[in-house]
Amino acid sequence: MRKLLSFVFFQLLSFCGHAQNVYMDSLRNELAHAEITISEKMNIYRILMEQSRSELQYDQATAENRKLIALAKSQNDDLALTKAYVYQGVIYNNQHDYKNDRVYLDSARVFALKSKSEIANAYTDYLEAIMLNSYQDYEAAIKSFQRTLSIVEDTNEEFLKAKIYYNLYSIYTNWNDMENSFLYANEAVKSAHKSGDKSLLSNAYSALAVAYTYRYDAHHNKDDLEKIFDICRQAIDLNKQYKGQVSTRTYAIAKLNIASYYFKYYPEKLDLIKAQIHEALEAGQLTQRNQAIIASCYGMLSEIAQREQNETQAESYLHTAYSILLTENPIYLHTMIRICDALATWYDKHDQHEKSFEFQKLTTDYTRQLFNEEQAATAKRLEAQYQFDKKEQELLVLKERAENHRKQQLLSIGLGIVGLFGSFFMFRSYHFRLRYSLEREKQLATEKSEAELQVKLEKEEQSRLKAEQKILTLQQEKLQNEVMANQLHLQHKNEVFQQLKEKIDKDNVMNIQQILRNENLLDNDFEKAKFQIQELHPNFFKTLTEKAQQKLTPLDLKYCAYFYLGMDTKQIANLLNVEPKSVRMTKYRLKQKFGLDTETDLMEYLRPDILNQ
């Protein structure tokens, strides 16, 4: 995700750089002062160790750290010893020595346990996270880094916090997570500033500038673009403000970064870009093992020369970069591949095909070598991760066994104490328990009798309620039948009255409104009867309507009510003043409307328990 243009492909291989020799010599001189405290000595050894480690001078870093280990042992300072073992584990991890970094992690854990300090545990978690990160198990590494942060977040361990934030920034940068990348780069700057380590702060600024490039590339906000260059200038200015406290390597990287940003966003400012590159070259040449930085500078100068159509100078810069990279052991293959590919492209462009082929072949060879090294590194990482997981599992099993053994011991001691107390109180409590037992039996017997009596009373109450419910049900059914019979009887009287009125009115002229009111009397009474039946049988007519396959007329509903009340054909014929044959035909027609066969009894079907099925 780090885009520093064609030849500016360079990762920050260390988090805090080394200081210049003058500054380091001044620190060594301080160690000779008689009034210096133990904690000050330890801090100086740590700084010297970190500076050597960042310069990839691992033997020197180990030598400085051994002095720190010896001093911590002499003071019986388990916390300081834990930190020193963690530093040594990081040194071995930087060299991909996955065997020895594990050894020092185990040693650090031993002294962290002895120290009973949460800070010590945080340092061991940090080394574990560094190892997981090197295995490219990023999710597990994030968990370990976050666990470490949860311990040191409210402490003054700003140097450790800055390192954790920077590593989290790197992981989220590789995942293209712009939001978290920016968040942790910003936190790294804050903690690095509080720590007082200027090289650390310069590197944190460089990380934050990279994060702003992602924001600008995504949103093209001019404020973000200005921030990129402001932050880069802050990283560079630290070298001027604090002479000797910012490593030349860190300063060279900061200069190279700002040059690459100008080249990317302001390519027309060639003179400014070349000035920044030359300053990066000067800084990079002050110390060893900076070949990749120097070669990247010459690669950029070659691109500028080609833009200025100075092809001879462009070729010279590329050959210089190639020669410089050959002096490094091992060769930094990523930059070498780009330089060789650029030379092959340049010679092909100028029709020097033999040389183009030569460098193209070198590009292929170096690419194959890089692939083989990455495969070997991957296999080494996988083996280391397997051993790490295996060791962690063994450690977990040992912890569980130790915990179980401790619990068994505590249980045995507890049982012994309980046994002694039990024997002591057994005799004294025997008579009391016997008396209590007898009283308890008596109480239980009383409670049992009361419970049985309560159950008997409840059963009797339930029987009484069921009998009352049954009586109420019978009374309700009787009332329902009486209401329906009375209503139908009233209907019959209305019909007889209507017939008498018709006979009387044959010889008399009546008011038309009175005739209509008399003719509607029968229907109105039936509707009232229907309403009262629905009050007692709310679903009777509704169920009839839903069950019918054809629409039911008011007369159909009337016949259904008669059938429901159990009236026979003759009774219904007399009530309705029709022929029995007409009642039978209506009954047949209703069975068809309900979709019943000839064998099904309509009156049986109209029973509520069957009708509601």
Q: For 320-377, what is each residue's pLDDT tens digit?
A: 999 999 998 888 899 999 999 999 999 999 999 999 999 999 999 999 998 998 888 7
- CA 434 → CA 300, 427, 430, 439, 548, distances in Å? 100, 11, 6, 9, 78
Share of the chain above pLDDT 90, in %: 46
pLDDT value at 135 more than 70: yes
Distance of alpha carbon 323 from alpha carbon 340, whole angstroms? 11
Distance of alpha carbon 434 from alpha carbon 436, whole angstroms? 5
H-helix or E-strand containing 143? helix 138-152
pLDDT value at 477 more than 80: no
Return the sign of the alpha-carbon dihedral for residues 280, 281, 284, 290: positive
pLDDT value at 10 more than 50: no
- pLDDT at site 466: 84
Q: For 442-467, what is each residue's pLDDT tens digit?
A: 888 888 888 888 888 888 888 888 88
Q: For 309-329, what is each residue's pLDDT tens digit?
A: 999 999 999 999 999 999 988
Take residue 156 and report the two structure tokens written for it: 């003054």
Distance of alpha carbon 557 from alpha carbon 155, whole angstroms? 89
Q: Hey, what amino acid is at 586?
A: T
Low-confidence winner among 78-82, 202-206, 566-570 (lowest mean pLDDT):
566-570
- pLDDT at site 609: 65
- pLDDT at site 553: 87
Angle among Cα 403, 409, 410 to the nearest 5 degrees reads: 90
Average of pLDDT values for 556-567? 82
Write 323-327 long-range contacts (CB < 8 A, 24+): 324/291, 324/294, 324/295, 324/298, 325/291, 325/292, 325/295, 327/291
pLDDT averaged over the chain?
82
Sequence length of the chain is 613
Q: Hey, what amino acid is at 217?
A: D
Q: What is the pTM of this model?
A: 0.62
H-helix or E-strand containing 448? helix 353-504
φ, ψ dihedrals at 509, nearest 5°: -95, 120
Phi-psi group of 5: left, alpha or beta (phi > 0 → left; psi -120 to 50 → alpha; rest → beta): left
- pLDDT at site 499: 60
Low-confidence winner among 357-366, 524-533, 599-608 (lowest mean pLDDT):
524-533
Name, in order, each residue with C-beta under 8 angstroms of 563's C-beta and a sequence gap of 6 or more: 587, 590, 602, 603, 606
Q: Where are the alpha helices (DSSP H) in 8-98?
A: 21-31, 38-54, 58-74, 78-94
- pLDDT at site 2: 33
Distance of alpha carbon 130 from alpha carbon 94, whole angstroms? 9
First to last CA, the chain: 74
pLDDT value at 266 more than 90: yes
Under a CB-based contact definition with an 8 Å cutoff, are residues 243 and 213 in contact?
A: no
Distance of alpha carbon 382 from alpha carbon 374, whole angstroms? 12
Average of pLDDT values for 102-128? 94
Q: Hey, what amino acid is at 155?
A: T
Name, in order, each residue with C-beta under 8 angstroms of 150's C-beta and a sequence gap of 6 or more: none
Angle among Cα 58, 109, 16 to the nearest 5 degrees reads: 35
pLDDT value at 124 more than 90: yes
Low-confidence winner among 117-126, 395-404, 431-440 (lowest mean pLDDT):
395-404
3-state secondary structure of 429: helix
- pLDDT at site 515: 45
Q: For 163-196, what is each residue's pLDDT tens digit?
A: 999 999 999 999 999 999 999 999 999 999 999 8
Residue linked to tokens 């560079």: 236
Under a CB-based contact definition with an 8 Å cutoff, are residues 148 and 168 in contact?
A: no
Domain boundaries, given as residue ranges, for the chain: 500-611
Take residue 132 and report the two structure tokens written for it: 């997981």
Name, in order, each residue with C-beta under 8 angstroms of 219's C-beta and a sequence gap of 6 or more: none
Distance of alpha carbon 251 from alpha carbon 281, whole angstroms? 10
pLDDT value at 542 more than 90: no
How remote is the C-alpha of 224 from its chain's centroid?
Answer: 30
E strands, 104-160, in order: none
Distance of alpha carbon 248 from alpha carbon 244, whole angstroms? 8
Low-confidence winner among 4-18, 40-54, 118-132, 247-261 (lowest mean pLDDT):
4-18
pLDDT value at 523 more than 70: no
Angle among Cα 288, 294, 297 to the nearest 5 degrees reads: 160
